[in-house]
Structure 1
């Protein structure tokens, strides 16, 4: 079957970053530095490595930091050689990740597209988004990156249901098989979860999913979620597939994930990694007992 090629990516960065406050009180979450670059640039690099040359960054209003950063990287001769085009779209209201994707619709022109969230940093030998695109090209149906998590942690994610045979088949195919998804449940309790396979921040979507997002309006106080659009698409007879990602993922939207990402990318940095590794090997870390500051006493 002929499938329209994926040539564009949507990168929503309008989230509030509440899990990493106070770091996000003075800067967007996606602009938090990891070693020598902001978080968002790691995802941009992954998108470019997948062969995509047009990226739509979706910001919230009054976020000049992203334009400043784009102006900065355009001065890099290597970046100019890549011929990557980046446009900025604005999510006018904080109505959820589905609304953020919908804000980029004028650039998508009824073509399939990638969606990537900047606080999920993925590491694998082959660029994960290239694998996702290759799998999408087999069916032309929406395809999601999935990761297995401990069942006690499922309440933080969108969780998928799938036929019983699918996971064992995927294992035999070394993680390359497509898993048919029969339902999507957003942030279930462990007892409600249909599985422990969760959606991570990489999707290849089709215009039909944009149509489903559009049906979720008008806004009535409930977030317009991408998971709801996917669920409705399945209920209406659409097919969605998942790919079980087995590489390394950092949840850089959490404090511990951010620290882990700093350490990993620091150790693997081409210029700084050797010196950083030496520092970690040679350093001793005495335990420090922090004293809580006492409230000032009132003068008599």
Structure 2
């Protein structure tokens, strides 16, 4: 069984929900507390033992490549000023030479198409797929545990979390079968099921380990919902050839692709920092007290 060495990060999206902020800055480079969203996702992959980071980019995404490169002028200035702590932090986050690759998705044809664009860089190996909008708290562990489950089962792995049953129509939902090691067999997948038809309340949280056979399926995949090449459609076909297993993640995933989720992530991650939680909690309490009259006035209107 081949080791999961590579991870794909589809970062070609336009980020229209964040305009005008994303007119010049990729949404993946918006910061949660003190680092870009994409850095959290790459750190999670690195903790899982990933050795090669593959970014599927689009136009105006060059700053992502710059972020994962060495900036000699900055390092020189920090060293000259004795900023050893900051230098060490940058060095810790820096991928080694040859560990990053970038390829273009020339047209916005959906997640399945973005994954297919990485086929030559992935090759004939199982690979991790991490959606860069989704970051997890605790910050580490989800992909690491998925790799562990893959090593026990050899199948494709999908991470899931529970949602309110009334909200299953918002997500990709999986059917839950028998328990297998630290996961369970997936009996089916459906994208945004109609209310009352979902096979469970377990939604896909943006973390996958997929077999390379997915590329051949995506090659001939017809466009689905939204006139895009849907990854879920390809996974349904792959499921008939090889088993899929679910990993139930018990942390919390924040969708930083929406303004509400992005703000929520900033608050949650700040509160999780020992150096910030006391001051943040005090500030939030103060703001809530100050805004109570405003909220009451809006509710009365």
What TM-score results when the alignment is normalised by the length of structure 2? 0.82
Quote how far apart the aligned CAs of 1:102 are: 0.9
Q: Residue in 2 aligned with 1:145?
A: 159
Matches of 2:131 and 2:99 in 1, distance apart? 18
Contact 1:73 1:79 in 2 (8 A): no
Matches of 1:160 and 1:26 in 2, distance apart? 37
Q: Residue in 2 aligned with 1:197?
A: 202
What TM-score results when the alignment is normalised by the length of structure 1? 0.83
Q: Residue in 1 aligned with 2:270?
A: 266
Query: What residue ranges of structure 1 are gaps of 5+ in the alignment?
Result: 171-175, 291-300
Matches of 2:258 and 2:224 in 1, distance apart? 28
Matches of 1:155 and 1:190 in 2, distance apart? 6
Q: Residue in 1 aligned with 2:187?
A: 182
Contact 2:26 2:60 in 1 (8 A): no
* Runs of 4+ deviating beyond 4 Å: 72-75, 80-84, 217-221, 270-275, 281-285
| Correspondences of 1:123-138 after superposition (within 5 Å) | 123-124=137-138, 127-138=141-152
Partner residue of 1:108 out of 122, 131, 134: 122
Secondary structure, aligned partner of 2:120: helix
Q: Residue in 2 aligned with 1:30?
A: 28
Q: Residue in 1 aligned with 2:107?
A: 93
Quote how far apart the aligned CAs of 1:141 are: 1.0
> Structure 1, residues 42-72: CA drift from partner, whole Å, max 9, x if none?
1111111112121011111232221232235
Is 2:166 the partner of 1:161? no
Quote how far apart the aligned CAs of 1:33 are: 1.3
Quote how far apart the aligned CAs of 1:192 are: 2.6
Secondary structure, aligned partner of 1:189: coil
Matches of 2:262 and 2:251 in 1, distance apart? 17
Q: Residue in 1 aligned with 2:69?
A: 71
Secondary structure, aligned partner of 1:118: coil
Secondary structure, aligned partner of 2:196: coil
Q: Is the alpha carbon distance of 1:115 and 1:125 closer, same or farther for their aligned partners in structure 2, counting shifts above 3 Å? A: closer
Matches of 1:39 and 1:125 in 2, distance apart? 11
Contact 2:7 2:45 in 1 (8 A): yes
Q: Residue in 2 aligned with 1:239?
A: 243
Contact 1:53 1:84 in 2 (8 A): no
Contact 1:132 1:143 in 2 (8 A): yes
Secondary structure, aligned partner of 1:286: helix
Matches of 2:98 and 2:149 in 1, distance apart? 23
Contact 2:51 2:99 in 1 (8 A): yes
Secondary structure, aligned partner of 1:65: helix
Quote how far apart the aligned CAs of 1:283 are: 5.6
Secondary structure, aligned partner of 1:71: coil
> Structure 1, residues 211-231: CA drift from partner, whole Å, max 9, x if none?
221120589972111101011
Contact 2:129 2:209 in 1 (8 A): yes
Matches of 2:266 and 2:140 in 1, distance apart? 21
Which has the larger helix fraction? 2
Q: Residue in 2 aligned with 1:293?
A: none
Q: Is the alpha carbon distance of 1:251 and 1:12 closer, same or farther for their aligned partners in structure 2, counting shifts above 3 Å? A: same
Quote how far apart the aligned CAs of 1:249 are: 1.4
Q: Residue in 1 aligned with 2:83?
A: none
Partner residue of 1:214 out of 210, 219, 223: 219
Higher alpha-carbon deviation: 111-120 or 177-186: 177-186
